[in-house]
Amino acid sequence: MTDGKRMSQLWDQRYGAEEYAYGKEANVFYSSQLAEMDPGLILLPGEGEGRNAVHAAMEGWTVEAFDQSSVGRSKALALASALGVEISYRVCELGDFIFLQNQYDAIALLFFHADPDSRLYLHRKVSEALKPGGKLILEGFHKEQLNNDTGGPKSLDMLFDEGTLASDFALLDTHLIERREVVLNEGPYHQGAAEIIRYSGTKPK
């Protein structure tokens, strides 16, 4: 079994319950960032069960998303239908998604954690895929989260710190890199005190 197939099955299993693993409400930081922007075309890689994609669609955005979990996609489309919006959602591996350059007004990476090679690939591709003036929104677990049991990978090299994000997004104009301790309340898998990191930046015009 390939690593991609194994991970797809892992996420399918997590999303297989009737309850939404990370809830149905959008990420707070992400929703606050969108509220400051005019709607356009947004991409959400690793979108899971669709809470953030559906929120953007309800705010007037044209939404593209992808994830390796077909179960996640099914739940995302069900949520969109229940709330009367449409999203475009593809099931594929990261390496199979074609990132068109200068395409998106916004891209959101929300708790998208990967091995270092995949992380560098993804961060380079999303930087290229933003339109000039387009905005990247990221929230994920900081390396200091490793000792907490409130979500996130248990491998240090899959977590973020300020230097990593500053280096990965050196081609963007950074507006915010902030480590915070927060109390997560996002479904059964993101609960309790956690060390997170937030990033926002725009592609130079």
Q: Which of 91, 111, 146, 154 is nearest to 23 (CA)?
A: 111
Instruction: Tell me what pLDDT residue 4 has.
Output: 66
Beta bridge partners of 182: 194
**For the purposes of burial, counting CB atoms within 10 Å of the CB of 95, is it exposed (0-12), middle (13-18) or buried (19 or more)?**
exposed
Q: Which residue has the tokens 């959008």?
A: 26
Q: Which domains does the chain have, with CATH numbers?
A: 3-202 (3.40.50.150)
Rounded Cα gap, residues 179 and 196, in angstroms: 6
Question: Any alpha helices (H) in 59-190, and if so which ranges?
Answer: 70-82, 116-129, 162-168
Per-residue pLDDT, 127: 98
List of the chain residues with pLDDT < 50: 1
Which amino acid would we find at residue 31?
A: S
Helices 70-82 and 51-58 cross at an angle (nearest 10°) of: 30
CA pseudo-torsion sign 190, 60, 94, 120: negative
The span from the CA of 14 to the CA of 37, in Å, is 33
